[in-house]
Amino acid sequence: MSNFKIIAHRGASAYELENSYKAFVKAIEMEADMIETDVRQTEDGKLILMHDKTINRTTEGKGKINKMTLKTIKKTKMKNGDNIPILDNILDQYGNKIKFNLELKDGNIEQSLNELIMKYDIIDRVLISSFSFKILKSLHQINPDINLALLTYLPSLISKINHSFNKCSEYGIKNINPWHIFKSKSYVQKAHKLGFKIYPWTINKKKEAIKLRDELKVDGIITNFPDILK
């Protein structure tokens, strides 16, 4: 299925340290369709790429990102020796080489993010995701052309599915990224009928990836293994 998308979760994070330059380069080398990564904001309003609220787990430093300046971030190395990725730099270097799924971990960064997207003219090469309807609604109001995805642990209960789809449509959300344990073919069929795309996360077993692709007919998967179907 040529339209089935492989989205590299935090880069090729099964092979390199997550959300690092090396993980992003590896994902490109492995021909992923898109890189999923996490956006957080420093104390002085700069956007960096890291999953956690602190830098403790993946870098040689310690501290909360929202209490650190970009200057401090630049002085800190990741545990694999890379510099901590700054979104501006990443989009400059790789924005035209691969598409990005940017998950927003913090609120109040929507305007800054939109400015970077417009700066590099890559609005057709980014997908913005969040668990927060509020953040996605704000982005849609700032720029209705931005492609949005709602992250969810499980699709809504059957009784709430119509409401969920209607809410997504109202906020300009065209993609839904559910937790991988969902196995509802009827949900996928209904989503497709209404014009939504479905990208479950995080799929790291080949058998599961094949089932989601061939039986449930999802549009792609988010995985730590960009080569999962090779």
* Closest C-alpha among 154, 178, 153, 156 to residue 165: 156
d(CA 44, CA 86): 13
Q: Which residues of the chain have pLDDT under 50?
A: 1, 158
pTM: 0.96
Per DSSP, the chain holds a count of helices (H) and strands (E) of 8, 9
17 domain residue, yes or no: yes
* Beta carbons of 190 and 213 less than 8 angstroms apart: no
229 domain residue, yes or no: no
d(CA 139, CA 112): 10
105 domain residue, yes or no: yes
Please give the residue range of the domain that contains residue 143.
Answer: 5-53+87-222
Residue-wise pLDDT for 6-42, tens only, equals 999 999 999 999 999 999 999 999 999 999 999 999 9
58 domain residue, yes or no: no
CATH number, domain of 204, equals: 3.20.20.190
161-170 and 185-193 helices, crossing angle to 10°: 40
Please count the structural domains in the chain.
Answer: 1
**Tokens standing for 192?**
């497709």
Percent of the chain topping pLDDT 70: 96
* Beta carbons of 13 and 23 less than 8 angstroms apart: yes
Strand (E) or helix (H) holding 175? strand 173-178
63 domain residue, yes or no: no
Measure Cα distances from 122 to 92, 113, 142, 197 in Å.
10, 12, 16, 20
62 domain residue, yes or no: no
94 domain residue, yes or no: yes
Model pLDDT, residue 1? 44
Measure Cα distances from 27 to 17, 39, 83, 97, 123 in Å.
12, 18, 18, 11, 21
SS (H, E, C) 130-169: ECCHHHHHHHHHHCCCCEEEEEECCCCCHHHHHHHHHHHH
Measure Cα distances from 25 to 63, 147, 159, 190, 224 in Å.
27, 24, 43, 36, 14
66 domain residue, yes or no: no
